[in-house]
Protein backbone atom coordinates (compact mmCIF):
# COMPACT_ATOMS: atom_id res chain seq x y z
CA UNK A 1 0.00 0.00 0.00
CA UNK A 2 1.51 3.43 -0.86
CA UNK A 3 2.20 5.65 2.18
CA UNK A 4 -0.16 8.43 1.08
CA UNK A 5 -3.24 6.16 0.62
CA UNK A 6 -5.36 5.40 3.68
CA UNK A 7 -7.02 1.96 4.04
CA UNK A 8 -10.43 3.56 3.33
CA UNK A 9 -9.18 5.22 0.15
CA UNK A 10 -7.57 1.99 -0.97
CA UNK A 11 -10.78 -0.02 -0.68
CA UNK A 12 -12.66 2.78 -2.50
CA UNK A 13 -10.11 2.61 -5.34
CA UNK A 14 -10.44 -1.18 -5.52
CA UNK A 15 -14.25 -0.79 -5.51
CA UNK A 16 -14.05 1.70 -8.42
CA UNK A 17 -11.75 -0.63 -10.33
CA UNK A 18 -14.15 -3.52 -9.75
CA UNK A 19 -17.09 -1.44 -11.05
CA UNK A 20 -15.09 -0.46 -14.15
CA UNK A 21 -14.09 -4.09 -14.70
CA UNK A 22 -17.72 -5.13 -14.57
CA UNK A 23 -18.88 -2.32 -16.89
CA UNK A 24 -16.03 -2.93 -19.35
CA UNK A 25 -16.72 -6.64 -19.56
CA UNK A 26 -20.41 -6.14 -20.45
CA UNK A 27 -21.51 -7.08 -23.94
CA UNK A 28 -23.64 -3.91 -23.97
CA UNK A 29 -23.18 -0.18 -24.32
CA UNK A 30 -23.15 1.72 -21.05
CA UNK A 31 -22.68 5.45 -21.08
CA UNK A 32 -23.36 8.44 -18.88
CA UNK A 33 -23.94 11.96 -20.16
CA UNK A 34 -24.58 15.27 -18.45
CA UNK A 35 -28.25 16.12 -18.90
CA UNK A 36 -27.54 19.84 -19.14
CA UNK A 37 -24.40 20.00 -21.30
CA UNK A 38 -24.72 16.58 -23.02
CA UNK A 39 -21.03 15.93 -22.24
CA UNK A 40 -20.28 12.23 -22.43
CA UNK A 41 -18.71 11.61 -19.05
CA UNK A 42 -18.48 7.84 -19.11
CA UNK A 43 -18.34 5.25 -21.92
CA UNK A 44 -17.59 1.60 -21.20
CA UNK A 45 -15.21 -0.56 -23.27
CA UNK A 46 -18.03 -1.81 -25.54
CA UNK A 47 -18.91 1.81 -26.32
CA UNK A 48 -15.29 2.87 -26.88
CA UNK A 49 -14.78 -0.10 -29.21
CA UNK A 50 -17.77 0.85 -31.38
CA UNK A 51 -17.85 4.66 -31.10
CA UNK A 52 -14.32 5.70 -30.04
CA UNK A 53 -12.98 7.59 -27.04
CA UNK A 54 -15.23 10.47 -25.82
CA UNK A 55 -12.41 13.04 -25.24
CA UNK A 56 -14.81 15.41 -23.47
CA UNK A 57 -17.11 15.45 -26.51
CA UNK A 58 -20.90 15.49 -26.29
CA UNK A 59 -22.97 12.31 -26.50
CA UNK A 60 -24.48 13.32 -29.85
CA UNK A 61 -20.98 13.96 -31.31
CA UNK A 62 -19.65 10.55 -30.29
CA UNK A 63 -22.66 8.26 -30.52
CA UNK A 64 -24.47 9.58 -33.59
CA UNK A 65 -23.53 10.58 -37.09
CA UNK A 66 -24.23 13.92 -38.79
CA UNK A 67 -25.54 15.65 -35.64
CA UNK A 68 -24.83 19.37 -35.24
CA UNK A 69 -26.70 19.59 -31.93
CA UNK A 70 -28.64 17.40 -29.49
CA UNK A 71 -30.57 14.61 -31.21
CA UNK A 72 -34.24 15.17 -32.03
CA UNK A 73 -34.90 11.79 -30.40
CA UNK A 74 -33.00 12.64 -27.21
CA UNK A 75 -34.86 11.06 -24.30
CA UNK A 76 -33.68 13.51 -21.63
CA UNK A 77 -37.06 15.23 -21.29
CA UNK A 78 -38.71 11.90 -20.54
CA UNK A 79 -36.34 11.06 -17.74
CA UNK A 80 -37.09 13.94 -15.38
CA UNK A 81 -40.24 14.87 -13.51
CA UNK A 82 -41.43 18.49 -13.56
CA UNK A 83 -39.67 19.08 -10.21
CA UNK A 84 -36.33 17.90 -11.67
CA UNK A 85 -36.29 14.55 -9.86
CA UNK A 86 -35.63 11.31 -11.73
CA UNK A 87 -38.65 9.84 -13.48
CA UNK A 88 -39.00 6.15 -14.23
CA UNK A 89 -36.76 4.20 -16.60
CA UNK A 90 -37.50 4.70 -20.30
CA UNK A 91 -37.03 1.69 -22.56
CA UNK A 92 -36.97 2.15 -26.32
CA UNK A 93 -35.55 0.68 -29.51
CA UNK A 94 -33.32 2.57 -31.89
CA UNK A 95 -31.18 1.96 -34.97
CA UNK A 96 -27.86 3.67 -34.30
CA UNK A 97 -26.71 6.02 -37.04
CA UNK A 98 -23.01 5.08 -36.65
CA UNK A 99 -23.13 1.29 -36.40
CA UNK A 100 -26.47 0.91 -38.23
CA UNK A 101 -27.37 -1.73 -35.67
CA UNK A 102 -30.56 -1.94 -33.62
CA UNK A 103 -30.37 -1.45 -29.86
CA UNK A 104 -32.79 -1.79 -27.03
CA UNK A 105 -31.96 1.21 -24.83
CA UNK A 106 -32.71 1.51 -21.16
CA UNK A 107 -32.42 5.18 -20.15
CA UNK A 108 -32.55 6.55 -16.65
CA UNK A 109 -31.75 9.85 -14.91
CA UNK A 110 -29.52 9.49 -11.87
CA UNK A 111 -27.69 11.91 -9.61
CA UNK A 112 -23.93 11.82 -10.29
CA UNK A 113 -21.55 11.92 -7.27
CA UNK A 114 -20.82 15.63 -7.96
CA UNK A 115 -24.55 16.44 -7.64
CA UNK A 116 -25.56 17.02 -11.30
CA UNK A 117 -28.28 14.99 -13.02
CA UNK A 118 -26.96 12.62 -15.67
CA UNK A 119 -28.46 10.16 -18.05
CA UNK A 120 -27.25 6.59 -17.91
CA UNK A 121 -28.05 4.43 -20.89
CA UNK A 122 -27.61 0.69 -21.13
CA UNK A 123 -28.13 -0.49 -24.70
CA UNK A 124 -28.05 -4.06 -25.96
CA UNK A 125 -27.68 -5.02 -29.61
CA UNK A 126 -30.96 -6.56 -30.78
CA UNK A 127 -30.17 -6.53 -34.53
CA UNK A 128 -30.50 -10.32 -34.85
CA UNK A 129 -33.83 -10.20 -33.10
CA UNK A 130 -34.96 -7.35 -35.37
CA UNK A 131 -33.84 -9.30 -38.47
CA UNK A 132 -35.70 -12.37 -37.24
CA UNK A 133 -38.81 -10.24 -36.59
CA UNK A 134 -38.57 -8.69 -40.08
CA UNK A 135 -38.16 -12.13 -41.66
CA UNK A 136 -41.12 -13.43 -39.72
CA UNK A 137 -43.22 -10.45 -40.79
CA UNK A 138 -42.23 -10.93 -44.45
CA UNK A 139 -42.98 -14.66 -44.22
CA UNK A 140 -46.38 -13.90 -42.67
CA UNK A 141 -47.14 -11.38 -45.41
CA UNK A 142 -46.11 -13.88 -48.09
CA UNK A 143 -48.20 -16.64 -46.47
CA UNK A 144 -51.19 -14.28 -46.40
CA UNK A 145 -50.63 -13.35 -50.04
CA UNK A 146 -50.25 -16.98 -51.08
CA UNK A 147 -53.41 -17.92 -49.20
CA UNK A 148 -55.27 -15.48 -51.47
CA UNK A 149 -53.34 -15.97 -54.66
CA UNK A 150 -53.59 -18.60 -57.36
CA UNK A 151 -50.09 -20.03 -57.62
CA UNK A 152 -50.17 -20.69 -61.37
CA UNK A 153 -51.54 -17.38 -62.64
CA UNK A 154 -50.95 -14.95 -59.77
CA UNK A 155 -54.64 -13.97 -59.88
CA UNK A 156 -56.89 -14.04 -56.82
CA UNK A 157 -57.90 -17.57 -55.94
CA UNK A 158 -61.48 -18.69 -55.32
CA UNK A 159 -61.23 -17.98 -51.61
CA UNK A 160 -60.05 -14.41 -52.16
CA UNK A 161 -62.67 -13.92 -54.87
CA UNK A 162 -65.46 -14.92 -52.52
CA UNK A 163 -64.18 -12.61 -49.78
CA UNK A 164 -63.71 -9.65 -52.15
CA UNK A 165 -66.99 -10.44 -53.94
CA UNK A 166 -68.90 -10.42 -50.67
CA UNK A 167 -67.44 -7.02 -49.80
CA UNK A 168 -68.38 -5.69 -53.25
CA UNK A 169 -71.94 -7.02 -52.88
CA UNK A 170 -72.31 -5.45 -49.42
CA UNK A 171 -71.17 -2.13 -50.85
CA UNK A 172 -73.48 -2.36 -53.90
CA UNK A 173 -76.36 -3.15 -51.59
CA UNK A 174 -75.56 -0.21 -49.33
CA UNK A 175 -75.32 2.20 -52.24
CA UNK A 176 -78.06 0.58 -54.33
CA UNK A 177 -75.60 0.11 -57.21
CA UNK A 178 -75.61 -2.57 -59.85
CA UNK A 179 -72.96 -5.25 -60.03
CA UNK A 180 -72.17 -7.78 -62.75
CA UNK A 181 -70.44 -11.12 -62.77
CA UNK A 182 -68.75 -12.79 -65.72
CA UNK A 183 -67.70 -16.42 -65.48
CA UNK A 184 -65.60 -17.81 -68.31
CA UNK A 185 -64.31 -21.28 -68.94
CA UNK A 186 -61.68 -22.44 -71.44
CA UNK A 187 -63.12 -24.50 -74.28
CA UNK A 188 -61.95 -28.07 -74.92
CA UNK A 189 -59.11 -27.53 -72.53
CA UNK A 190 -58.71 -31.24 -71.95
CA UNK A 191 -57.73 -31.64 -75.59
CA UNK A 192 -55.02 -28.92 -75.20
CA UNK A 193 -53.54 -30.93 -72.34
CA UNK A 194 -53.91 -34.19 -74.18
CA UNK A 195 -52.34 -32.88 -77.37
CA UNK A 196 -49.55 -30.66 -76.00
CA UNK A 197 -49.05 -31.83 -72.43
CA UNK A 198 -49.98 -30.45 -69.03
CA UNK A 199 -47.10 -27.94 -68.98
CA UNK A 200 -48.39 -26.42 -72.23
CA UNK A 201 -51.87 -26.27 -70.69
CA UNK A 202 -50.40 -24.43 -67.69
CA UNK A 203 -48.74 -21.91 -69.98
CA UNK A 204 -52.00 -21.32 -71.84
CA UNK A 205 -53.77 -20.67 -68.52
CA UNK A 206 -51.06 -18.20 -67.53
CA UNK A 207 -51.33 -16.35 -70.85
CA UNK A 208 -55.09 -16.34 -70.62
CA UNK A 209 -54.88 -14.79 -67.15
CA UNK A 210 -52.44 -12.18 -68.41
CA UNK A 211 -54.66 -11.19 -71.33
CA UNK A 212 -57.70 -10.98 -69.06
CA UNK A 213 -55.76 -8.90 -66.49
CA UNK A 214 -54.84 -6.43 -69.23
CA UNK A 215 -58.53 -5.82 -69.93
CA UNK A 216 -59.88 -5.21 -66.45
CA UNK A 217 -60.25 -1.83 -64.75
CA UNK A 218 -59.02 -0.98 -61.26
CA UNK A 219 -61.76 -2.01 -58.88
CA UNK A 220 -62.81 -5.05 -60.93
CA UNK A 221 -62.09 -8.39 -59.29
CA UNK A 222 -60.56 -11.05 -61.53
CA UNK A 223 -59.91 -14.54 -60.20
CA UNK A 224 -59.15 -18.09 -61.23
CA UNK A 225 -61.94 -19.92 -59.45
CA UNK A 226 -61.33 -23.42 -60.81
CA UNK A 227 -58.99 -25.41 -63.07
CA UNK A 228 -59.82 -23.63 -66.35
CA UNK A 229 -62.55 -21.41 -64.97
CA UNK A 230 -62.23 -17.69 -64.28
CA UNK A 231 -64.54 -15.06 -62.79
CA UNK A 232 -64.66 -11.31 -63.16
CA UNK A 233 -66.79 -9.19 -60.86
CA UNK A 234 -67.60 -5.72 -62.11
CA UNK A 235 -68.86 -3.39 -59.38
CA UNK A 236 -71.18 -0.72 -60.80
CA UNK A 237 -71.59 -2.42 -64.20
CA UNK A 238 -74.99 -3.02 -65.81
CA UNK A 239 -75.87 -5.83 -68.25
CA UNK A 240 -74.78 -3.90 -71.31
CA UNK A 241 -71.37 -2.89 -69.86
CA UNK A 242 -70.78 -6.44 -68.60
CA UNK A 243 -71.63 -8.01 -71.97
CA UNK A 244 -69.33 -5.54 -73.72
CA UNK A 245 -66.52 -6.44 -71.33
CA UNK A 246 -67.17 -10.17 -71.84
CA UNK A 247 -67.11 -9.71 -75.60
CA UNK A 248 -63.87 -7.73 -75.37
CA UNK A 249 -62.32 -10.51 -73.29
CA UNK A 250 -63.63 -13.17 -75.65
CA UNK A 251 -62.00 -11.47 -78.64
CA UNK A 252 -58.71 -10.84 -76.83
CA UNK A 253 -58.49 -14.49 -75.76
CA UNK A 254 -59.45 -15.72 -79.23
CA UNK A 255 -56.53 -13.74 -80.65
CA UNK A 256 -54.12 -15.15 -78.10
CA UNK A 257 -51.53 -17.58 -79.39
CA UNK A 258 -49.32 -19.39 -76.90
CA UNK A 259 -45.97 -20.56 -78.24
CA UNK A 260 -44.87 -23.83 -76.72
CA UNK A 261 -41.93 -25.89 -78.03
CA UNK A 262 -42.31 -24.35 -81.46
CA UNK A 263 -46.07 -24.92 -81.64
CA UNK A 264 -48.70 -22.17 -81.50
CA UNK A 265 -51.61 -23.07 -79.27
CA UNK A 266 -54.87 -21.16 -79.51
CA UNK A 267 -57.65 -21.14 -76.96
CA UNK A 268 -61.17 -19.80 -76.68
CA UNK A 269 -63.54 -19.36 -73.74
CA UNK A 270 -67.28 -19.54 -73.18
CA UNK A 271 -68.71 -16.66 -71.18
CA UNK A 272 -71.66 -16.48 -68.80
CA UNK A 273 -72.82 -13.05 -67.64
CA UNK A 274 -75.29 -12.07 -64.96
CA UNK A 275 -76.21 -8.80 -63.27
CA UNK A 276 -77.68 -7.65 -60.01
CA UNK A 277 -79.36 -4.29 -60.57
CA UNK A 278 -79.37 -3.23 -56.94
CA UNK A 279 -76.77 -5.47 -55.32
CA UNK A 280 -79.52 -7.45 -53.58
CA UNK A 281 -78.63 -10.79 -55.18
CA UNK A 282 -76.32 -12.96 -53.09
CA UNK A 283 -72.87 -13.84 -54.40
CA UNK A 284 -73.90 -17.49 -54.37
CA UNK A 285 -76.93 -16.76 -56.57
CA UNK A 286 -74.84 -14.64 -58.94
CA UNK A 287 -72.19 -17.33 -59.27
CA UNK A 288 -74.69 -20.05 -59.88
CA UNK A 289 -76.51 -17.94 -62.48
CA UNK A 290 -73.27 -16.96 -64.25
CA UNK A 291 -72.25 -20.64 -64.23
CA UNK A 292 -75.57 -21.52 -65.80
CA UNK A 293 -75.08 -18.85 -68.46
CA UNK A 294 -71.56 -20.16 -69.21
CA UNK A 295 -72.97 -23.66 -69.44
CA UNK A 296 -75.52 -22.41 -71.97
CA UNK A 297 -72.71 -20.78 -73.97
CA UNK A 298 -70.89 -24.14 -73.96
CA UNK A 299 -74.09 -25.82 -75.19
CA UNK A 300 -74.52 -23.30 -77.97
CA UNK A 301 -71.30 -23.07 -79.93
CA UNK A 302 -68.67 -22.21 -77.25
CA UNK A 303 -66.47 -19.11 -77.74
CA UNK A 304 -69.53 -16.89 -77.16
CA UNK A 305 -71.19 -14.74 -74.49
CA UNK A 306 -74.52 -15.63 -72.83
CA UNK A 307 -76.44 -13.37 -70.45
CA UNK A 308 -78.87 -14.64 -67.81
CA UNK A 309 -80.65 -12.46 -65.28
CA UNK A 310 -80.65 -13.74 -61.73
CA UNK A 311 -83.99 -14.89 -60.30
CA UNK A 312 -85.97 -11.96 -58.82
CA UNK A 313 -85.59 -11.73 -55.04
Ligand X SMILES: Nc1nc2c(ncn2[C@@H]2O[C@H](COP(=O)(O)OP(=O)(O)OP(=O)(O)O)[C@@H](O)[C@H]2O)c(=O)[nH]1
* Helix residue ranges per DSSP H, the chain: 7-24, 45-51, 59-63, 76-79, 127-148, 158-175, 189-196, 198-215, 239-254, 283-300
Under the criterion CB under 6 A, does residue 250 sit at the interface with ligand X?
no
CB nearer to ligand X: pick between 31 and 189: 189
Q: Spot the catalytic one: 228, 229, 254, 284.
A: 228
x-or-dash string of contact with ligand X, 190-219, rule CB under 6 A: x--x----x--xx--x--------------
Determine how many CB atoms are found less than 10 A away from the CB of residue 43: 24
Shortest Å distance, C-beta 187 to ligand X: 4
Contact window for ligand X (CB under 6 A) among 61-69, 86-94, 109-117, 181-189 = 181-189
Size of site (CB under 6 A) for ligand X = 16
- Please list every residue from 143 through 162 that binds ligand X, using CB under 6 A: 152
CB nearer to ligand X: pick between 57 and 302: 302
Q: Determine contact, residues 224/157, Cβ cutoff 8 Å.
A: yes
> In the Cβ-directed half-sphere of 156, how many Cα atoms lie within 13 Å?
17
CB nearer to ligand X: pick between 141 and 190: 190
Strand-by-strand arrangement of the 269-276 sheet? 221-224, 229-235, 179-186, 269-276, 305-307
Under the criterion CB under 6 A, does residue 220 sit at the interface with ligand X?
no
Strand partners, 124: 104
CB nearer to ligand X: pick between 205 and 242: 205
Rg (the chain; Cα; Å): 35
Under the criterion CB under 6 A, does residue 185 sit at the interface with ligand X?
yes
228 catalytic residue (yes or no) = yes
Under the criterion CB under 6 A, does residue 188 sit at the interface with ligand X?
yes
Under the criterion CB under 6 A, does residue 187 sit at the interface with ligand X?
yes
Under the criterion CB under 6 A, does residue 116 sit at the interface with ligand X?
no
x-or-dash string of contact with ligand X, 73-92, rule CB under 6 A: --------------------
**What are residue 40's phi and psi, to 5 degrees?**
-85, 105
Q: Determine contact, residues 84/36, Cβ cutoff 8 Å.
A: no
- Of 256, 271, 246, which is closest to residue 192 (Cα–Cα)? 256
CB nearer to ligand X: pick between 43 and 209: 209
Q: Sign of the C-alpha dihedral, residues 160, 166, 169, 174?
A: negative
- Please list every residue from 274 through 303 that binds ligand X, using CB under 6 A: 298, 302
Q: Which residues bind ligand X (CB under 6 A)?
A: 152, 185-190, 193, 198, 201-202, 205, 227-228, 298, 302
As annotated, the active-site residues are 228
Amino acid sequence: MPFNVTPGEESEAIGQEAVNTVLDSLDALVYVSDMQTHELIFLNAYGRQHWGVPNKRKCWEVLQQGQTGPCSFCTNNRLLNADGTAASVHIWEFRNTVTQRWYQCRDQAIRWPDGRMVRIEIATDISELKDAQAELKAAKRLAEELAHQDELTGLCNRRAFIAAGQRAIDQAQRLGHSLALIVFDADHFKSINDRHGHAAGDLVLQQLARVASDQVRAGDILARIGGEEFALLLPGADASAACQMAERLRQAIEQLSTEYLGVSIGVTCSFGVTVSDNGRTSLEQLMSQADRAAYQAKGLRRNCVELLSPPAC
